[in-house]
Amino acid sequence: DQQVKQNSPSLSVQEGRISILNCDYTNSMFDYFLWYKKYPAEGPTFLISISSIKDKNEDGRFTVFLNKSAKHLSLHIVPSQPGDSAVYFCAASLGDGAQKLVFGQGTRLTINP
Amino acid sequence: NAGVTQTPKFQVLKTGQSMTLQCAQDMNHEYMSWYRQDPGMGLRLIHYSVGAGITDQGEVPNGYNVSRSTTEDFPLRLLSAAPSQTSVYFCASSYSTGYNEQFFGPGTRLTVL
């Protein structure tokens, strides 16, 4: 039972355009959501997070949107850069901080020059 | 700071063998955890520790043991390896529980024949 789902295994975007990565969840008790970025042969690195009491959080080129009624969140990257090519994981927490996380399957983003 | 380090990077075991995956952090973090990543499934929490001497089970603990005798180290033991334990293992740490970013190590790729 996959509680956090990233239904797009891969996404290809042209450099300079917007990248939109999507994530759906089933457990309405999740109260904190995170995005991690992973390069090959490295561990995931934290990118951005959002609390369930908000619907948007922005950090530079990265914005996360949360739609609680639809149980959906998305990560927008504008403008996309070649260094953004990586696997992006969506993760959720059940109300006890940002440690015991439930991860999605990941989406491989490729930015084309 | 070296951050979170994991050894070995790669390991091949035969079914029934035992081994210990090492994880160390030099950031004086209280919280440490182990995840496994399997193709198409994202990362899943195996065990975690909120401080020296305290450990608890995550989502997929069967077949693994942990202990936390020091703040710095959090080894993961496979007592009798099985092919189903073929995976990439990531160790992570954070300053404490709560909404603190987790830092991940580079991973150990384990193959069980």
Interval B92-98 mean pLDDT: 86
Q: Provide the pLDDT confidence category of residue B101 given band limits of 50, 70 and 90.
A: confident
Taking alpha carbons only, the member of A38, A8, A4 closest to residue A22 is A8
- Inter-chain residue contact B59 with A32, CB threshold 8 Å: no
**Average pLDDT of span B22-27:** 97
Confidence band of B39 (pLDDT split at 50, 70, 90): confident
Residue A33: Cβ-neighbour burial (10 angstroms; 0-12, 13-18, 19+)? buried
The mean pLDDT of B64-73, rounded to a whole number, is: 97
Instruction: State mean pLDDT over B75-84.
Output: 97
In this complex, do B58 and A100 lie within 8 Å of one another by their Cβ atoms?
Answer: yes
Q: For residue A2, what pLDDT is reported?
A: 81
pLDDT (0 to 100) of residue B96: 81
A16: distance to nearest CA of chain B, Å?
28
Residues A99, A47: Cα–Cα separation, whole Å:
15
Query: Are B74 and B6 in contact, with CB atoms under 8 Å apart?
Result: no
What one-character-per-residue DSSP string does A90-113 give? EEEE-SSBSSSEEE---EEEEEE-
In this complex, the residue of B45, B102, B105 whose CB is nearest that of residue A46 is B102
Give residues with Cβ within 8 angstroms of B63, minimum separation 6: B78, B79, B80, B82, B84, B85
DSSP 8-state symbol, B58: -
Predicted local distance difference test score (pLDDT) of residue B9: 97
| Residue B47 contacts residue B59 (beta carbons within 8 Å) | no
To the nearest 10°, report the CA torsion of B80, B88, B47, B85: -30
Interchain contact A24–B (C-beta under 8 A):
no
Per-residue confidence at B98, pLDDT binned at 50, 70, 90?
confident
Statement: residue B76 has pLDDT above 80: yes
pLDDT at B49: 94
Confidence of residue B40 (pLDDT cuts 50, 70, 90): confident
User: DSSP label at A53?
Assistant: T
| Among candidates B48, B101, B107 on the partner chain, residue whose Cβ is nearest the Cβ of A100 | B48
Compare CB distances from A42 to B48, B94, B106 and report the shortest one's residue: B106
State the 10-residue block means of pLDDT for chain A, 113 residues long: 92 98 95 95 96 96 97 98 98 81 96 95
Would you call A44 and B41 a contact, using CB atoms and an 8 Å cutoff? Answer: no
Comparing A31-35, B38-42, B50-54, the range with the smallest average pLDDT is: B38-42
- CB-CB neighbors (< 8 A) of B48 in chain A: 99-100
Q: Which of B45, B58, B99 sits opposite A32 (nearest CB)?
A: B99
| Separation of alpha carbons A74 and A67, rounded Å | 9
Nearest CA to A23 out of A49, A42, A44 is that of: A49
Q: Is A48 near chain B, with CB under 8 Å? A: no
Q: Which residue of B has its CA nearest to A2?
A: B41
Checking DSSP bridges between strand B42-51 and strand B54-57, what pairing results, if any?
antiparallel
pLDDT for res B22: 98
